[in-house]
Amino acid sequence: MLLIGRCLLAVAVLDLALGGNGYLFTIAGLRLREILFVLCMTWTAIWLVRGRLDPMIWLLTGLFVTITVASAGIGCLNGNADILAELKPLAYFPMLLFFVAAIRTEGDVRLVTRLLIACGMTLGVIYLMTLAAVYSGTVRYADVFNFVRGDEFMFRHVLDNQAPYIGFFYKGMVYAGVAAILLMFSTRLWQFSLVIMPAIALTLTRSLYLGMVAAMATGALIDRVKMARAVTAVLILGAVGFTGMMAESRIVEKAPQETAALSTIETTIPRNEGISQRTNDVDYVFKKTSPLELLIGHGLGATIQGRQRIEAGYFEIIYKQGLLGLLPWSAMMFYLVTLYRRNPTDCALAMLCCAIFVYVTHVTLPIMTGSIGMGIVFISLAGLAALYRKTAPAPVQLWRPSERESPSLS
């Protein structure tokens, strides 16, 4: 039973870290992630026959399910469309039970961290090699784009000249950030995290920058010994990111004929207009929200300026689920911090910083309400719980076993 759980754990982590949205592998029209969900939850149900979970895990799950069901009901009352479409990514939340049940020992934590580091390093190195090949002219930009243009690995591009810009492994690169954090704070090979930082920087994604800076700053402030290496990582992130922005226009100019052939690509908002769009969305949320709606939201399926999803992740939660929608995530962060304070080791610090990375990235990139971000937070929580379980003191016994089993009759 435990071996099956370990195998499912390894496959689930690999699917998250190398699969982005999970479309890398499909079986009979189903994503591997969907099949794994059924298998993992079935294993968890069997495990729960004899195993026990921390009551806090049940409280978090119950709180999330209750608020989500209520938000779906409000959406139905308001006549919102696409409620089921919004429920689908949120339905990944019960995987919290699986990760906490499967990650029970220090060995399980080591397995998961090694897989995450290996996947993140792989993503970062492949990304840098791809950019080098395209920029040097070794590989045609259009060939690379056509190879990775599906939902899984996304090249984003600006609207004004219909030309793609650096955005390879756009969602999957979140796990490169996780690998950098784990290397930085939980291993002696922290120098390898500096190899990943340029890859993250060259995504030219503000949300990843913000999340990495927050994670590195948190780790540095908690563990002052690691402050110098964290500052070095942030400086590399900033320097390479600035250089990448300057080089972006040159990449487009190198192959105008190739980029012209990509005119059918779905366009995205230009970077310089992205901030304005986010500001307008936040302003809309406040203007269209009454005091009662601020508490309970407009319900799942509600649109914001005609769009189903917006980049300002927390304001989307507030608009659709109200402040109550933030309650499960706030409680989970409180529990993460509590677990860390009970066992403040290097590995525990790395796990906490990974969760903070997701929470901060969600400010402008809504990943926490889908499997990509949830997976990182759940693994971090399960890892912290396992590390605390290893060091937790044994319960005090009020009697000796022999006295309990065979009480004296004299």
3-state secondary structure of 30: strand
Strand pairing category for 26-27 and 30-31: antiparallel
Can you read off the two tokens belonging to residue 337? 């911090």
Backbone angles phi, psi at 49, to 5 degrees: -60, -35
For residue 154, the model assigns a pLDDT of 46
For residue 248, the model assigns a pLDDT of 59
91-113 confidence digits (pLDDT tens): 999 999 999 999 999 999 999 99
Radius of gyration of the chain (CA): 23
| pLDDT category of residue 270 using cuts at 50, 70 and 90 | very low
Higher model confidence: residue 410 or residue 324?
324
For residue 146, the model assigns a pLDDT of 56
- Report which residue type is found at 171: K
Residues 155, 162 contacting (CB under 8 angstroms): no
For residue 267, the model assigns a pLDDT of 36
Quick check: 350 pLDDT over 70? yes
| pLDDT category of residue 289 using cuts at 50, 70 and 90 | confident
For residue 186, the model assigns a pLDDT of 86
**In sequence order, which residues have a C-beta less than 8 Å from that of residue 32 and are 6 or more positions away?**
15, 19, 22, 24, 25, 26
Residues 137, 150 contacting (CB under 8 angstroms): no
**Whole-number mean pLDDT of the chain?**
81
Quick check: 398 pLDDT over 50? no
Please tell me the pTM assigned to this model: 0.84
- Determine the Cα–Cα distance for residues 98 and 9; give it in Å rounded to an integer: 8
Average pLDDT over every residue of 256-282: 54
Helix (H) or strand (E) holding 40: helix 32-47
- Determine the Cα–Cα distance for residues 167 and 74; give it in Å rounded to an integer: 37
Quick check: 400 pLDDT over 50? no
- Determine the Cα–Cα distance for residues 37 and 33; give it in Å rounded to an integer: 6
CA atoms within 13 A on the CB side of 364: 14
Higher model confidence: residue 256 or residue 66?
66
Place of tokens 């499909």: 26
Quick check: 19 pLDDT over 80? no
Can you read off the two tokens belonging to residue 338? 């509590």
Quick check: 215 pLDDT over 60? yes
